[in-house]
Structure 1
Amino acid sequence: MFDRLSAYAPQALAVLRIVAAVLFFAHGVQKVLGFPEGMLPPVGSIFWFAGIIEIVTGILIAIGFFTRPAAFLASGTMAVAYWLAHAPASPLPVSNGGDAAILFCFLFLYLVFAGPGAWSVNKK
């Protein structure tokens, strides 16, 4: 019964890619611009650079342009964010607020291997 759904795997992957990238972009905008709410980090700080990476890779991943390298950079950024900003507060992701960073890290790592799916700018 569910075997027929496999035909839609490229489209489902594209939806996952786009939704995750838009959320990632929103995190970057919040860091860099303080929108819709948030504190502005000093320009040139590690949080500011993380926000810039989130904005740029979020856009690239959303449109499916250089998805694999952008996802690799985004995944690594989230791994660093987890270990530098979240893990020192508590070993439990649910307590240290790092669950989103972990999900983004592994979702983007998956995109490195899976590619963009359907509806991407550089689809072959």
Structure 2
Amino acid sequence: MTTFKPADLQAVLLSVLRITAAYMFTLHGTSKLFGFPHSPMFDGLQIMSLYGLAGILEVVGGLLLLFGLFTRPVAFVLSGMMAVAYFVGHAIPNGNVAAPFLNRGEAAALFCFVFLYLSAAGGGKWALDNKRNAG
């Protein structure tokens, strides 16, 4: 019978967190850039706009995180992006910085802190960074 050590399970679950968050994050970008999944809010989106730039970062950064490639720097950049998104898109316009539930900024705040954690912890056991660093 195979038993997992807590450290092994922790490394696997770190990868599961990274993959799940990256997949959901990438969908935000594909919605903006490619209309899938479709959100009427992004119909006619200009690529050279704030939302267009966000979509590019979400797709490129999300895919890099999905595969665990350059996890730490990419996660750090995306964490900063989501901090800006929270304050500029949710907190300041709604006049409620301390209540993400009320300003509809839960996803931005959560992505910000998940990515900040990944920037410190790395990509986990199933990250391509492990192959890149081994050679």
Instruction: State TM-score, norm by structure 1.
Output: 0.91
Aligned to 1:94: 101
Q: Is the 8 A contact 2:27 2:37 kept in 1?
A: no
Distance 1:74 1:120 in 2: 17
Any runs of at least 4 consecutive aligned residues in structure 1 with deviations exceeding 6 A, and if so which?
A: none
Aligned to 1:74: 78
Aligned length: 122
Between the two proteins, what is the percent identity of the paired residues? 46
Distance 1:10 1:83 in 2: 32
What are structure 1's unaligned runs of at least 5 residues? Answer: none
Q: Deviations over 1:67-116 (max 9, x none)?
A: 00110111011011111111122412112210000000000000010001
Aligned to 1:65: 69
Distance 1:118 1:77 in 2: 26
Aligned to 1:120: 127
Correspondence list, 1:1-124, <5 A: 5-38=6-39, 39-40=42-43, 41-87=45-91, 88-91=93-96, 92-123=99-130, 124=134
Q: Deviations over 1:8-33 (max 9, x none)?
A: 10000000000000000001111122
The amino acid that maps onto 1:113 is A
Instruction: State TM-score, norm by structure 2.
Output: 0.84
Matched residue of 1:43: which SS? coil
The amino acid that maps onto 1:49 is L
Backbone CA RMSD of aligned residues: 1.5
